[in-house]
Structure 1
């Protein structure tokens, strides 16, 4: 059927100005996403150069609900969660600042498994969902780790593997989807002007950034649910942001390089921490 010319023009304008969010129109290279937001030991005045130990390891596993044969998809859903507290071994006593910030108590970490056991449990979780081979640990599906900023894997996991004297597993190596960077990229593509607040970095430079509540607000999503700096609550809210980015047609793929061999000055030999080099 061929519509009259004035109807065709109207339909063409409508197609250019509206989109149906339920219709997948972006090819998505990854099948599943592991959203991670760890919590770690800290003291008032310390920064990312400190020898932080992970004390909460939460993951939201997300999967496409509508991926077509051509790879297009738009609807993501959390299909399972993994969460455990982690017992620190170098400095096992939490600071009052750390407990106040994260809500994690000394009793919770005292009763938790050490990090090496957490990695085993996480591996079993990934095998259960068919992400990795149960024998070799090699990837079976195309999955991507996601975090708010690069810090969780780039800093905390790399440092914790060193402190715990365990190799960084192959299934957590590789580049990461920095959700914060993706949100800022999306905002930069919009015709409406959006001012992103600037944070000062350690060397005094200014870096544009948005925390999780600000990302939710920028995307028109409901306010943060839960307690900020609770790992599992942070992870769930990040998953909502990723879901919205997918609905808006953003291609979800790694955008941040991670280096498992990264080292800090306080790292000695075989997991030794040189306290004289701690900031």
Structure 2
């Protein structure tokens, strides 16, 4: 799922910025409870115009785990709220049909989101919704600013002089803020667009 140096240009220059929240615990998970996605935040970025053009939120109903008190404190999400969400398979189909996830390039802050989708798709026999063009925005930001360590999203916003909008660890807000960092990199001509190699 890493970027290829020979990826063809994307005609509409739209990018999906994705951030997920998953069931989590303060310490080891309870026996038999894997971490499962409960919220998918997605912001659409128009790289040609340099704007964020869509903010989306998809709640996902966990199948084998529950929302802990720790998870609620961290994300604000409750069990009752995520119980109203889509199944994971339905959420993946939604990404593919409504957000062109299979053909549109996408980005996340780090590789956690990509890896979590991969693990959960394999565990549930669900078709992976994304295409192969993925950019690790944390790597791109670290390279552009010449940093020795890769920063968290909130620290990166401080470095870039950007505000943290909304609530940290809420998928829709984190995706929105990561999209701002993508546009920050684009303005510095440091975003690895389609056909350009991603920084290592």
1:80 matches 2:40: no
Unmatched segments (≥5 aa) in structure 2? 1-7
* CA-CA distance at 1:124 after TM superposition: 2.2
Hey, what's the Cα distance between the residues in 1 that align with 2:133 and 2:93? 21
Instruction: Quote the residue 2:154 is aligned against.
Output: 213
* CA-CA distance at 1:165 after TM superposition: 2.1
Hey, which bits of structure 1, 4+ residues long, moved more than 6 A? none
1:161 matches 2:143: no
Give the conservation status (yes or no) of the 8 Å contact 2:17–2:106: yes
Hey, what's the Cα distance between the residues in 2 that align with 1:231 and 1:115? 15
Instruction: Quote the residue 1:34 is aligned against.
Output: 16
Hey, what's the Cα distance between the residues in 2 that align with 1:256 and 1:46? 34
Hey, what's the Cα distance between the residues in 1 that align with 2:51 and 2:21? 24
Q: Aligned to 2:113, which of 152, 156, 160?
A: 152
1:245 matches 2:185: yes
Counterparts in 2 of 1:99 and 1:63: CA distance versus 1, 3 Å: same
* CA-CA distance at 1:220 after TM superposition: 2.1
1:117 matches 2:90: yes
Q: Aligned to 2:198, which of 255, 258, 266?
A: 255
Superposed, 1:54-65 pairs within 5 Å as 54-65=37-48
Structure with greater contact order relative to length (CA < 8 Å, sep ≥ 6): 2
Deviations 1:133-161 (A, max 9, x none): xxxxx63xxx321001011012x101221
Give the conservation status (yes or no) of the 8 Å contact 2:41–2:174: no
Unmatched segments (≥5 aa) in structure 1? 1-27, 66-74, 133-137, 189-194, 197-207, 258-279
Q: Secondary structure at the match of 1:57?
A: strand
RMSD, aligned α-carbons: 2.4
Counterparts in 2 of 1:87 and 1:256: CA distance versus 1, 3 Å: farther
Hey, what's the Cα distance between the residues in 2 that align with 1:225 and 1:64? 20
Q: TM-score, normalised by structure 2?
A: 0.83
Q: Secondary structure at the match of 2:145?
A: helix
- Specify the structure having the higher radius of gyration (Cα): 1
Hey, what's the Cα distance between the residues in 2 that align with 1:235 and 1:97? 21
Deviations 1:178-226 (A, max 9, x none): 11111110111xxxxxx65xxxxxxxxxxx22011111111222x3111
Instruction: Quote the residue 1:182 is aligned against.
Output: 140
Q: TM-score, normalised by structure 1?
A: 0.61
Instruction: Quote the residue 2:68 is aligned against.
Output: 95
